[in-house]
Structure 1
């Protein structure tokens, strides 16, 4: 998905089941998303990436390079699913593509623009069972269909599959051997997790997504 450099991607989300979870678990889950944001910022071709916690269990991320929108959403979701410590809370993610106006400091609460409007409205319209949605500048029914199919696939992930997929879907295209070294398991075990997660197909999807004009 290529496009105007003035367009950004805004990911808005909230944690699922946080009202029944201790406040500590909500904070752990939010901090995990913050850590994922820092990793996304290091991706080649990406610019500054901003994160803000919103409305208690809500959060927003601005990704300067909008081509990474779907890949970043997958990274955030996978890292939440794979959490083994306390604070295992899944999240919904609404992707908004559009413009961003200036804001004060790193706090996105003062930010505005069509990307924020699209992302916020889309999150508000999502049901409790929804995980991914997209709206905004250049988004077509085909993009929405891809997101729906992606959502269907990730809904089947186990924590172990999500953990492997989080590495596998990085833009550096790590090998199974690379991932095995990171996770301390065999390449055969990594292959089994990647296959179970459908991560090879998802890698192809995000690569084509990033090459397609939006």
Structure 2
């Protein structure tokens, strides 16, 4: 981070069925995740410091934690755009940091990094509801945040590769390009883009994300 924010969000992910994907497909997945992190730097105003974490895992840090839920869905979209067999478990935590972050998040020791890892571990050990997105927290916001993640996980789990490709662009926070400009970017008609976004539940997802971000953003 170019400055030390009061709080950051940390996402710790692990590819679903990485053994079954095979080495070449895992490499494709990590390329897509890294590209997504690079695109999100424009949202955050700083690098996410995308770091490979424990084999087939990955981790990023967000200087604007209010965008954490949007980030989770963007990473899912980036993977789903590759095909139906691509997805990631994602553990999320929000907390303070004590100093500027280095380029390798594996070297960070603030509790928020461990908390995000614990969230991922809870998913993989079956200690949570059957969701691939899980929030680790202890404050009063934990329940509502996790309830929202359960719903977002359900709405996004069935995205097709075509829908996900469009969503990699559409999930950028406002102001975003018009549907016409978005259609030109993905090489599809405006009507096709609108139909795909409706089928992917994007209007409802965007309303939920915008409401969360409005109330979570710093004054």
TM-score by length of 1: 0.89
Find the counterpart in structure 2 of residue 90 from structure 1: 87
Q: Aligned residue for 1:166?
A: 168
After superposition, the Cα gap between the structure-2 partners of 1:74 and 1:197, relative to the gap in structure 1 and judged at 3 Å, is: same
2:182 is the alignment partner of 1:182:
no
Q: 1:99 aligns with which of 96, 101, 109?
A: 96
1:115 aligns with 2:112: yes
* CA displacement at 1:103 relative to structure 2: 7.3
8 A contact 2:66–2:216 mirrored in 1: no
Contact 1:82 1:159 in 2 (8 A): yes
In the TM superposition, what are the counterparts of 1:14-93 in structure 2 within 5 Å?
Answer: 14-43=14-43, 46-83=45-82, 89-93=86-90
Deviation digits for residues 146-202 of structure 1 (CA, Å, limit 9, x no counterpart): 111001100121111112222111113322111110111111101110000000111
- Write out aligned runs for 1:195-214 (5 A): 195-213=198-216
CA offset at residue 137 of structure 1?
6.5
- Provide, for residues 49-90 of structure 1, a one-character-per-residue CA deviation record: whole Å limited to 9, x for no partner: 211101111000011111110111111101100115xx9521
Q: Is the CA contact (8 Å cut-off) linking 2:21 and 2:85 kept in structure 1? A: no
Contact map agreement 1:133 1:144 (CA 8 A) in 2: yes
Instruction: Assess if the C-alpha contact under 8 Å between 1:103 and 1:110 holds in 2.
Output: no
Deviations 1:15-51 (A, max 9, x none): 01111232222122112111111111112x5333211
State the superposition RMSD in angstroms: 2.2
Query: Which consecutive residues of structure 1, in runs of 5 or more, have no partner in the other structure?
Result: none
Q: Retained in 2: the 8 A contact 1:101–1:111?
A: no
State how far apart, in whole Å, the 2-side matches of 1:88 and 1:182 are: 25
| Partner residue in 2 for 1:191 | 194
Residue of structure 1 aligned with 2:152, choices 141, 150, 153: 150
Q: Is the 8 A contact 1:114 1:136 kept in 2?
A: no
Contact 1:82 1:163 in 2 (8 A): yes
Aligned mates of 1:102, 1:24 — CA distance in 2: 37
Q: TM-score, with normalisation over the residues of structure 2? A: 0.87
Unaligned runs of 5+ in 2: none
Kept after mapping to 2: 8 A contact 1:16/1:92: yes
Deviations 1:98-133 (A, max 9, x none): 123447741111102122122110100104753211
